Amino acid sequence: MIQRGDVAGCSFGFTVPDGGDRWEQRSGTFLRELLRVDLREITLTSDPAYTDTTVALRSLDEQHFYAAIRDPIIIGRAWLETCR
């Protein structure tokens, strides 16, 4: 589905802890800067909440694949690298 272009973006589910964001106003528009988030989910989707995200395919050699599936931090980083 990614290769065909059916899935082309990402949506993220997260919460913002106290003090984890900062608001400012520029030219009459309020902007929110996220300083810290608790990431709960990453979804590859055809209708992303964040339209500037992209999804791409890449391959891992077998050794790196098995190392990655044993380490949840590596898995999380791989997902984040997939969703730019």
Is residue 3 in a domain? no
Is residue 36 in a domain? yes
The pLDDT, as a whole number, for residue 7 is: 80
Global pTM? Answer: 0.54
In the chain, which stretches have pLDDT less than 70?
2, 59-66, 68-75, 78-79, 82-84
Domain ranges, residue 63: 9-82
Q: CA-based angle 76:43:21, to the nearest 5?
A: 75
The pLDDT, as a whole number, for residue 62 is: 66
The pLDDT, as a whole number, for residue 23 is: 96
Is residue 71 in a domain? yes
The pLDDT, as a whole number, for residue 60 is: 63
The pLDDT, as a whole number, for residue 6 is: 72
Domain count, the chain: 1
Is residue 1 in a domain? no
Residue ranges of alpha helices (H) inside 1-84 are: 62-70, 72-82
